[in-house]
C-alpha cells in the first residue's frame, strides 16, 4: 500500500505573504523558491552575508545568540506568521545572531536584491509592523530569561511554538530545548515532569502532549501574553487561534534524547 503524497506547501500558508496585495503577490511570487528546512539546519550564521529572506510555511526557526564559550540562548522564534531576514530590508547585510531550524518543514525564500527592491517600492508599513512585533518578542525573551523560572520559560516556549505551527507535532531533543532556553537538559526534564504532575501535559517516553492549554497559559509568565497581545495588535492579518476543547486535537511535542 503506497502512501498518499503530501501536497506541496503554498506561499499563502505564510500569513505575511498571504496578507500582501494581489499586485505585490504578482510581482513577488514568481521569484519565490520553495526549500526544505530540516531540523537543525542553519539558515544564517553570525556576521555572514545574508542572501535570502525566508517565509516559513510549516516550520519554525529559532533566532539564537551564541556566546564565545559556545553556549546559546534563543531570543525569538519565527514561523508562518512572518519572515526571517529583516536585516536585509532594514539596511544591513548580516546579523550578529544565528538562525537554526527548530521544527522541520518548508519555507519560501526570496533573493536579497528582490527583497530590497520591493521594500523600497511597496509594503514598508507591513514589514515594519512585523519588525516591531519581533522586537517585542526579543525584548520580552530577555526579560523572561532573567526573571522567570525554567518552568515558566518552558510554558512560554510551548505556547509560542504552537502559535506558529499549522500542524500539531514538533520533534525536538531535550538538549536542543535546553540550548534555546539557556538551561541544562536536566532542567527541561524536571520542568516537564512538574507540568505533568499538574495535569497540564502528559509526558512519557519523550512525548509531551498538551492536555490543558488554558492552564498552560495560566502557568506561563506574563511574557507570553505581552508578546501575544502585541502580535495580535500589529499583525492584523493573522487568523484568530481557535479554542480547542477536544484534547485529542491539541498539539503535541515530541522530545527525543540525543
Residue 245 included in any domain:
yes
pLDDT in tens, the chain (258 residues): 455 667 899 999 999 999 998 988 998 999 999 999 998 899 998 878 889 999 999 999 998 887 777 777 888 899 999 999 988 877 777 787 889 999 899 999 999 888 888 877 765 678 888 888 999 998 898 888 888 999 999 999 889 988 887 655 667 767 777 877 878 878 888 888 888 889 988 776 666 777 888 999 999 999 999 999 998 888 888 876 544 334 444 455 555 444
Closest alpha carbon to 48 in 103, 101, 98: 98
Query: What is the tally of structural domains in the chain?
Result: 1
Give me the pLDDT at residue 251, please. 52
Give me the pLDDT at residue 107, please. 97
Grid cell for residue 248: 485529542
CA angle 245, 247, 250 (to 5 degrees): 95
Give me the pLDDT at residue 122, please. 63
Sorted by sequence, the CB contacts under 8 Å of residue 74 that are 6+ apart come out as 62, 63, 64, 102, 141, 157, 179, 180, 181, 182
Give whole-number Cα distances, 78 to 162, 186, 199, in Å.
Answer: 11, 26, 28
Give me the pLDDT at residue 41, please. 93
Residue 174 included in any domain:
yes
Cβ–Cβ under 8 Å, residues 109 and 53: yes
- The owner of cell 517585542 is 136
Give me the pLDDT at residue 9, please. 92
Give me the pLDDT at residue 223, please. 92
Give me the pLDDT at residue 243, please. 40
Residue 5 included in any domain:
no
Q: Where are the beta strands (DSSP E) in 168-245?
A: 169-173, 201-204, 207-210
Give the range of the structural domain holding residue 124, as residue numbers without chain letter.
12-256
- Global pTM exceeds 0.85: no
Per 3-state DSSP, the chain is made up of helix, strand and coil in percentages (nearest 5) of 45, 25, 35
Residue 7 included in any domain:
no
Residue 3 included in any domain:
no
Residue 113, domain CATH = 2.60.120.10
Amino acid at each position: 500500500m503506497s502512501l498518499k503524497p503530501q501536497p506541496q506547501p503554498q506561499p499563502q500558508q505564510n500569513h505575511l505573504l498571504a496578507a500582501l496585495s494581489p499586485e505585490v503577490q504578482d510581482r513577488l511570487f514568481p521569484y519565490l523558491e520553495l526549500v526544505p528546512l530540516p531540523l537543525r539546519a542553519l539558515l544564517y550564521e553570525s556576521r555572514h552575508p545574508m542572501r535570502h529572506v525566508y517565509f516559513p510555511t510549516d516550520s519554525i526557526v529559532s533566532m539564537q545568540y551564541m556566546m564565545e564559550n559556545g553556549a546559546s540562548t534563543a531570543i525569538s522564534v519565527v514561523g508562518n506568521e512572518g519572515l526571517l531576514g529583516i536585516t536585509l530590508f532594514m539596511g544591513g547585510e548580516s546579523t550578529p545572531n544565528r538562525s537554526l531550524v527548530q521544527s522541520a518543514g518548508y519555507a519560501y525564500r526570496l533573493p536579497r536584491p528582490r527583497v530590497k527592491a520591493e521594500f523600497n517600492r511597496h509594503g514598508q508599513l507591513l514589514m515594519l509592523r512585523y519588525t516591531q512585533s519581533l522586537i517585542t518578542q526579543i525584548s520580552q525573551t530577555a526579560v523572561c530569561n532573567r526573571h522567570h523560572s525554567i518552568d515558566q520559560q518552558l510554558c512560554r516556549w510551548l505556547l509560542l511554538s504552537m502559535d506558529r505551527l499549522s500542524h500539531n507535532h514538533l520533534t525536538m531533543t531535550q538538549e536542543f530545548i535546553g540550548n534555546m532556553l539557556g538551561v541544562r537538559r536536566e532542567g527541561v526534564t524536571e520542568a516537564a515532569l512538574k507540568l505533568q504532575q499538574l495535569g497540564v501535559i502528559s509526558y512519557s517516553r519523550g512525548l509531551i502532549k498538551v492536555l490543558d492549554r488554558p492552564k498552560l497559559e495560566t502557568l506561563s509568565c506574563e511574557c507570553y501574553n505581552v508578546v501575544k497581545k502585541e502580535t495580535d495588535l500589529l499583525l492584523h492579518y493573522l487568523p484568530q487561534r481557535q479554542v480547542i476543547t477536544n484534547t485529542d486535537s491539541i498539539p503535541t511535542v515530541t522530545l527525543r534524547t540525543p
